[in-house]
Structure 1
């Protein structure tokens, strides 16, 4: 009886601890947007994942998780994951935030699960349902409302914000990462996969940053940007990944995935509180529609395959 009580207490504890994950991810949008005002996108991403690479490598070494045979056997697949989930995702993510608000960025990226569901229906043999259809419709309507600002003229003239459109590239990259991860990660531990792909992705980002000419601007970074880089590298990447995977292990991927719906809410209030962003009625309504759509989609019984794909991703990285 005592053991059962301790287990119940531990389970309740993980529900509370998981609240930190969307908080860290949500805060990363405003922090990342500020950093890219001082150094270019590739340089920002390279530093973020450089910090994460060092910490993950230390962690993997400490638990003796390196498996060089697996790395040699799966190197092509791991490289694909690096190109899609780290390199391409962060290129579009940071470049998009250079042109749009942190709130818009969070709301666009929040539809990742919806697109994963569509891909699963189209290519992975999952069944379509009315719940899925309504969820997709609500989410896409919410995002459309956000990026048009509620203006029919903007919609008719197709003059969407450049940053919002670039963020759809991040969504596409993450969907590609999720689908590839479903194949590559069979028989490979999530920690090993994440560490290897993060290191490889960091090298690709570092080379791109050299051509971007951003490294020369790093010594002139403000104290605020240095703190923000440490935040998104340590808290929004490594610690969020650790907590996320522990949550998936304890309560399952479907329940843990529900916490992702809090990301745009946290992004909105942190951007408004710490970075002075204003919140429009279109963003508020869009947020409600996006979260409602994602909840409907994620609760559909056909979504088991998608949940497994998202759970295997590097921390479910939406920020």
Structure 2
């Protein structure tokens, strides 16, 4: 899957995929990213409660994050002895549209209809998509445990879907829950493709520079979308909205995006995706504590099945 490097990139040198220390650090990065990403639906649902909507929130988040990527990207570019080829940069930009524009747009749109618990579990299912797509189109090897693991995963998601129907607030119809679920599954599929396609670009550009390019392209796409759909008007903002958006942009977007790219470089896309086991648990705990979302045995069973199924994907 990975292509040979086109030139020396500082953060990809002297990295042995078989080194225990390297693998350990990659897992730490992946787990840390999973935790930070698990805060995203909590912050978004809180901001929705303050009156914000998906597209303005996504646009502001990307605008705030963009300077960080531009600065880091410029520093890395200046350090490169041989500059990347134009087609390598273009490929990374295209991959970024999958993982950071389309996946984010579908996710934020879906969160307007479903609970934070269901959203995180739906996204948590993306390793199953990584495994299946990797086997079908990338020649990845899979074991016989994949089919029962997939069955467990999607039975669990079905149970969680039913749980969301039970706890839906007044005015939320079954059609709304279904729409939100499909949007978030589309987000998971888009992010799965990003994980698989990103490995080659990370090998060519290095994880940090790849993240800068992919997030930069996603920001441009987001701003164009925002300008077309909303015009050039900034939504009404106050201190709580700005605070939440800043935290969302930096701690739940910029920091974990670099962690994920570096983790993929060190331990590969399959291990990086499966290591996000803590994500649904942390999101559920925070959804109960901070959002007051109901939680019962139905949710416990659904979450347990999804997590068991994903953990058995190899």
TM-score, normalising length: structure 2 = 0.78
Give the alignment partner of residue 205 of structure 1, picking from 222, 235, 239.
222
Name the counterpart of 2:46.
34
Structure 2: distance between partners of 1:42 and 1:151: 25
What does the per-residue CA deviation read over 1:278-299, in whole Å, with 9 as the maximum and x for residues that have no partner? 22432221111111111100xx
Give the alignment partner of residue 111 of structure 1, picking from 118, 121, 125.
125
Is the aligned partner of 1:123 residue 2:137? yes
Structure 1: distance between partners of 2:164 and 2:47: 29
Task: Compute the displacement of 1:87 (Å).
Answer: 1.7
SS of 2:223's partner is: helix
Is the aligned partner of 1:43 residue 2:56? yes
Contact kept? 1:66, 1:192, Cα under 8 Å: no
Is the aligned partner of 1:58 residue 2:71? yes
More moved, 25-34 vs 255-264:
255-264
Name the counterpart of 1:285.
301
* Cα root mean square deviation, aligned: 3.2
Could you say if the C-alpha distance between residues 217 and 16 of structure 1 is closer, same or farther in structure 2, counting changes exceeding 3 Å? same
Query: In the TM superposition, what are the counterparts of 1:6-25 in structure 2 within 5 Å?
Result: 20-25=32-37
Contact kept? 1:22, 1:266, Cα under 8 Å: no
Name the counterpart of 2:103.
89
Structure 2: distance between partners of 1:267 and 1:261: 11
Contact kept? 1:46, 1:209, Cα under 8 Å: yes
Is the aligned partner of 1:101 residue 2:138? no
Structure 2: distance between partners of 1:151 and 1:48: 30
Name the counterpart of 2:12.
none
Name the counterpart of 1:147.
161
TM-score, normalising length: structure 1 = 0.77
Structure 2: distance between partners of 1:13 and 1:57: 26
Task: Give the length in aligned residue pairs.
Answer: 286
Could you say if the C-alpha distance between residues 62 and 81 of structure 1 is closer, same or farther in structure 2, counting changes exceeding 3 Å? same
Could you say if the C-alpha distance between residues 283 and 225 of structure 1 is closer, same or farther in structure 2, counting changes exceeding 3 Å? farther
Name the counterpart of 2:4.
none
Name the counterpart of 1:225.
241
Is the aligned partner of 1:194 residue 2:244? no
Contact kept? 2:43, 2:244, Cα under 8 Å: yes
Task: Compute the displacement of 1:125 (Å).
Answer: 2.4
Task: Compute the displacement of 1:110 (Å).
Answer: 0.3
More moved, 246-255 vs 119-128:
246-255
Query: In the TM superposition, what are the counterparts of 1:226-265 in structure 2 within 5 Å?
Result: 226-244=242-260, 257-265=273-281
What does the per-residue CA deviation read over 1:14-45, in whole Å, with 9 as the maximum and x for residues that have no partner? 87776543321111111112334533322212
Task: Compute the displacement of 1:132 (Å).
Answer: 0.9
Structure 1: distance between partners of 2:35 and 2:57: 20
Give the alignment partner of residue 177 of structure 1, picking from 169, 172, 194.
194
Structure 1: distance between partners of 2:109 and 2:205: 31
